[in-house]
Amino acid sequence: MNENSSIRAKSGTNQEGTSAHNRRVMIEALRLNGALSRADLARATQLTKQAVSNIIEDLERDGLVVALDTVRKGRGQPSTPYRLVPEGAFAIGLQIDRHLTRAVVVDLVGSVLARAEANLPLDEPSEGVKVILGLIDGVRRELAGISSQSESRLVGLGVAMPGPFGLQNSDDKWMMPAWQKFPLLETLAAGTGLNVGLQNDAAACATAERIVGAAHGVDHAVSLYVGYGIAAGLILNGELYTGGNGNAGEIGRALLSPAGPGSTPLEHRASLASLYQHLGLDAADAHLYERMDALALAEDPKVMAWIKDAAHDLRWSVHLIETIFDPQTVILTSGAPETLARRLLEAMQPLLPSIADRPGRSLPRLQLGITDPWSIALGAAAEPISRAFDPRFSAILKTRSGGF
């Protein structure tokens, strides 16, 4: 790549005391664009060639970057492209839901190396956490069989579960109240010896979209997650925004009528939990995903009726998201089968007029994202990688930020 405009990267800074930020900027540029030469990196990040050379040498020494074969383009000087080393870092992601848990291991570029799932006892976190620790131990052993350096390069454990977190009314059944009151992060940190981070499931979905999905390389995107509940994952200025208490994007809590008696939150009418209730299905059924897929494929009348009603409410939520956040695109993600999610997306058209309804758009206002049930665990695993390696303002302030 020779044109600066074709390389996606943030600007580095040539001021003293900012090496941590510049390292992160370089790593992100390689993650977004693949292999780049030192000259490409210098142009894209606006760092001096000497600064780029110093950082590349450090990253090579740390096992995060590797040089590829030299390339000659035309009559110019030959250049050496560099790429990230996938096994330079690993992280574990954990999804905790009402009836099940999933764990995945990813490498530095987001490839899944191991995964496992298990059933959870409902509302019994003291027993459920034993299942979770066993699951984590299993994928960790599997990773050790893949890489002899796995433990030294394991940067953390990311946890994703339904929010919101820390509200006064924590007895609400939608919030997994027993788990909310349980010292989960402390227990997992003690049981694994890893740094543990927590985010809601919509934020995890947004992170997955940012790494391998429709939000890859997009600076402003919102992931509208339709799961057991409903929430929005916010990617603003290229970073995941979680809010002051980790509850940003909990749009499922928004009322569909004025507050007061009879007011109904969005997720009580347009979530998969409402679909299960509508169809008389058991959310703990091990074959629930397959049953929903078959019903959607057959255009079951009860399913289609639910889709029509849910689309009406979700259409309003897209309008609200666009009005408040002005994203480049809204991405519909779900734990539902793709057939059901796609029918829901189609039923949401035409979208309500909003400030996003403008000519010359390069991305659709609404598009279908990842519907893989494992996407939440994948996004959870990406959080420790992001925390260690993505450019953030905190990395400028703390030159000894986490990461290699």
pLDDT of res. 349: 97
**Position 171 pLDDT exceeds 80:** no
The yes/no answer on whether domain 214-369 falls in CATH 3.30.420.40 is yes
Give mean pLDDT, residues 147-166.
92
- Pick from 100-109, 266-275, 295-304: least confident: 266-275
Tell me how far apart the alpha carbons of residues 373 and 333 are, in angstroms, rounded to a whole number. Answer: 10
Q: What percent of the chain has pLDDT over 70?
A: 88
Q: Name the packing angle between helices 19-33 and 375-389 (round to 10°).
A: 140
From CA 381, how far away is CA 372, in angstroms rounded? 15
With 70 as the cut, is the pLDDT of residue 251 above it?
A: yes
Three-state secondary-structure class, residue 92: strand
**Under CATH, what is the fold of the domain 88-202+377-389?**
Nucleotidyltransferase; domain 5 (3.30.420)
What would the pLDDT profile of 315-348 be if each residue is shown by its tens digit?
999 999 999 999 999 999 998 999 999 999 999 9
| CA separation for the pair 28, 379 (Å, rounded) | 17
Q: Which distant-in-sequence residues (6+ apart) come within 8 Å of 295 by Cβ?
A: 279, 302, 303, 340
pLDDT at 174 over 80: no
* Among 71-75, 247-251, 335-339, the least confident range: 71-75
| Buried b or exposed e, range 222-237, using 16+ CB within 10 angstroms | bbbbbbbbbbbbbbee
Same fold: 88-202+377-389 with 214-369: yes
Higher pLDDT, 164 or 42: 42
* Alpha-carbon dihedral 332, 333, 336, 337, rounded to 10 degrees: 80
Where would I find the H helices in 251-374?
267-270, 272-279, 288-297, 301-325, 338-347
The helix-helix angle for 49-61 and 19-33 (nearest 10°) equals: 80
Residue 255 pLDDT level (bands cut at 50, 70, 90): confident
Q: Where are the domains of the chain?
A: 4-84, 88-202+377-389, 214-369
Cβ–Cβ under 8 Å, residues 138 and 197: no
What is the pLDDT, as a whole number, of residue 21? 83
Domain 4-84: give its CATH code: 1.10.10.10
Distance CA 4, CA 218 (A): 17
pLDDT tens-digit map of 282-303: 888 888 999 999 999 999 999 9
Q: What is the pLDDT of residue 326?
A: 96
- DSSP-derived secondary structure for 131-189: HHHHHHHHHHHHHHHH-TTTTTTEEEEEEEE----S-S-TT-GGG-HHHHHS-HHHHHH
